[in-house]
Structure 1
Amino acid sequence: MKRKLLTLLVLASTGCFAQQYDGVHLEKSNIDKNNLIYKLGREFIYTFKIGENETIVYLKNNDTDIFELTKHGDSLPLSEIHMTVLKPKIFKRVNKNQTQILYSLEPHSNSISTTGLSENEQNVWLHPTRMGFFQSLETCPYPYIKLGKPIGYKWSDSMSIGNHWSNKKWGEWENRLLLNYEYEIIAREKVVTQLGKIDCLKVRATATSAIGSSELISYFSEKYGFVKLEYNLFTGIKIEMNLDQIIDGPILRDAREFYQYKRKQ
């Protein structure tokens, strides 16, 4: 338990570092109260698939900086990402002016992290999970959509990241890496999910930098949020995440309450 809480603190502190995305609209008040999708206490459960060199691989172990990929799917791999919306205590919000979320990997999760998202009338934008292997997502565009815009609408943004995010699996660099993002709403499509067939806006986003380019195709529903995420990393690794379930649970404040709640289940 102590180790998990230490992991949480480390990941939370790194999550606050160098997050530009200056084009994102952040609220100064009612940050959580007017959320229509990412409501307090709500848990979003995603399954994920990883492809490397045209081969499906599985995530066997995943900790703060240590992970293990395997080709053997019968070795009890981690298979789900759970995203829970928290109500932090006063002055305990990890990311200023953002709704607080907690990520955990299941089953037998050995690390969790807290970070933030923004949901309002202008945009929906969220930090991805960035534990272990999923630090790779820091090199990709974040899930992000401008609301009320037509098909064909484009926008740009940027962010620089430190070399503590680098890894030979998804790209290495020295000092800081500047990522320039281009987003475009390219279509409206029906996506087949475990929740049914969902009408979504399809957004293509690219991140270009000195070491190459990465891509995110996201599918956004006004009712369910981001229901499908397709990442293509600098090195060609592919990650697909699919929303399978949404649970309205109790309102939790922090990692301690999260663990207490999970033990009772």
Structure 2
Amino acid sequence: MLTSTGRIWEADSTQKAIGWGSRTDEMRSGTGVAESPRGVWIHPPRYGEYAILELSPFPEIRLPFKPGQEWDWELSVGSYWSNPAWAVWQGQMQVKTHYKSVGQQRVATPLGKLECQQVTAVARCSAGQATLSLLFHPQYGFVELDYVNIDGGRLRFQLLSVGVVNEFDATTYFGKQ
């Protein structure tokens, strides 16, 4: 489950705070999302078994969407992200990612058939390379994130539902009604 708090992320004031977890009462990782008229960029989950995604392309869409558009992004990743299961390094490792807007694709989802924008990305570093194929819908955001990581393993995230969970307890502030 991906949950937006609606608040600014403490680690980076340009991003909104989000949490990843299996339930809203069990958020396992806090991170951020940047949204602007120029696009949307999100940190993938990076806790536990998902730490490998630090070396994979981060989901990004550039707006206005133009098929064939290409762009690059670079990230310096500290050795505290290393793991003997997939890569070990000392100090900082540069991860260079190249993105390409492929075009529109109509896909069947749990939300119905959606016209999505497709982007592919390849991240390269001294430990290897990882890829991401993503589908983005203007109303729902990232509908699918399909990764092939540096260890050859595949991770796929799909949007299954959307909604608003109001966790505001009015009795805390106004007493029992």
Please indicate the TM-score interval, normalised by the length of the shorter structure.
0.7 to 0.9
Counterpart of 1:101?
18
Q: For residue 84 of structure 2, what is the aligned residue in structure 1?
A: 168
- Any conservation in 2 of the 1:94–1:114 contact (CA below 8 Å)? no
Given that residues 198 and 221 in structure 1 are in contact (C-alpha distance below 8 angstroms), is that contact kept between their aligned partners in structure 2? yes
**By percentage of residues, which structure has more strand?**
2
Residues 185 and 251 (structure 1), Cα distance of their counterparts in 2 relative to 1, 3 Å cut: farther
- The structure-2 alpha-carbon separation of the partners of 1:192 and 1:147, relative to structure 1 and needing over 3 Å to count, comes to same
How far, CA to CA, are the matches of 1:169 and 1:107 in structure 2? Answer: 30
- What is the identity, as a one-letter code, of the residue corresponding to 1:147? L
Pairing 1:198-217 to 2, within 5 Å after superposition:
198-217=114-133
Summarize the Cα distance change of 1:125–1:212 in structure 2 as closer, same or farther, 3 Å threshold.
Answer: same
Q: Which among 30, 38, 41 is matched to residue 122 of structure 1?
A: 38
- Report Cα offsets for 1:136-190 as digits up to 9, x if no partner: 1101010001111311000011011011111133322222110011000012101
Question: How much has 1:229 moved relative to structure 2?
Answer: 0.5
Aligned residue in 1 for 2:150: 234
Where relative contact order (Cα < 8 A, 6+ residues apart) is larger, the structure is 1
> Equivalent of 1:154, from 59, 64, 70?
70
Identity over aligned pairs, percent: 29
Task: Describe how 1:3-14 pairs up with structure 2 within 5 A.
Answer: none
Unaligned runs of 5+ in 2: 170-177
What displacement does 1:230 show? 0.5
How far apart, CA to CA, are the structure 2 residues paired with 1:132 and 1:140?
A: 15
State the match for 1:17 in structure 2: none
Q: TM-score, normalised by structure 2?
A: 0.87
- Provide the aligned C-alpha RMSD in A: 2.1
Question: Would the aligned equivalents of 1:87 and 1:251 in 2 still touch at CA under 8 Å?
Answer: no
User: Structure 1 length as normaliser, TM-score?
Assistant: 0.60
Unaligned residue ranges in structure 1 (runs of 5+): 1-81, 258-265
The whole-number CA distance in structure 2 between the counterparts of 1:203 and 1:93 is: 29
